[in-house]
Amino acid sequence: MANEWIERWREGRIAFHLPETHPQLERHWSALDIPPGDKVLVPLCGKSLDMRWLADRGHPVLGIEFASEAIEQFVAEGDGEVSRYRQGYFDVWRQGSVEIWCGDFFHLHIDNTREIQAFYDRAALIALQHPARQRYAFHLAQLLPPGAKGLMITITRSILPEKGPPYNVEPEEVRQLFTPNFELELLDVLPADDRGFSEHVWSLVRRGPSEG
């Protein structure tokens, strides 16, 4: 999976990249009532412009991305000085209030996320094949403190057989994956587009240890 992802970036096969801020982020983020200053984790971030949108609204951003090509393009297309350093398993690029760590999301440790209060997932869960999605949901929960809020966008596909990413993730699977550790609310379901993709927009809140 990792090698395939890197090859996609090297060859420019990045149809999944949205060259603008995701409209559902713009529409629904304010409903989460996340105050400016809260740091936002963006797993499998690519070179998403959503990170700049969040930064422009006062959120420090921590993106995690496996392909260094994506990060190099992100900072090249942005403004401002870029600093680079090493943090554990990760090479880090920082530009303004956005820092992107290059490496495996599953190597991210809770010690690296102590300042995180929120998260945004537009392309992480749907980029993973079925066996990895359970691991992702559990690992995300371990990285977040109780009360952390997030916005997640998933996709169902009416045109099968499935080829991805993005992968088809049915609402029932989302509930099975996240309900044990998050309060989950489906905010919106968009009509299928011409590819048969329908986006589902979710609000999540990390449960406390005594909540079930």
Q: Which residues are annotated as a binding site?
A: 9, 44, 65, 122
Taking the C-alpha atoms of residue 175 and residue 172, their distance in angstroms, rounded to an integer, is 5
Taking the C-alpha atoms of residue 166 and residue 120, their distance in angstroms, rounded to an integer, is 16
Q: Classify burial at 37, counting beta carbons within 10 Å of its beta carbon; exposed 0-12, middle 13-18, buried 19 or more.
A: exposed
Taking the C-alpha atoms of residue 59 and residue 179, their distance in angstroms, rounded to an integer, is 26
Residue ranges for the binding site for S-adenosyl-L-methionine?
Answer: 9, 44, 65, 122
Beta-carbon contacts of residue 139 (< 8 Å; ≥ 6 apart)? 105, 106, 108
Enter the tokens of residue 170: 């049915």
Enter the tokens of residue 163: 């080829």
Enter the tokens of residue 177: 């994956």
Q: What is the DSSP string of 54-71?
A: HHHTT--EEEEES-HHHH
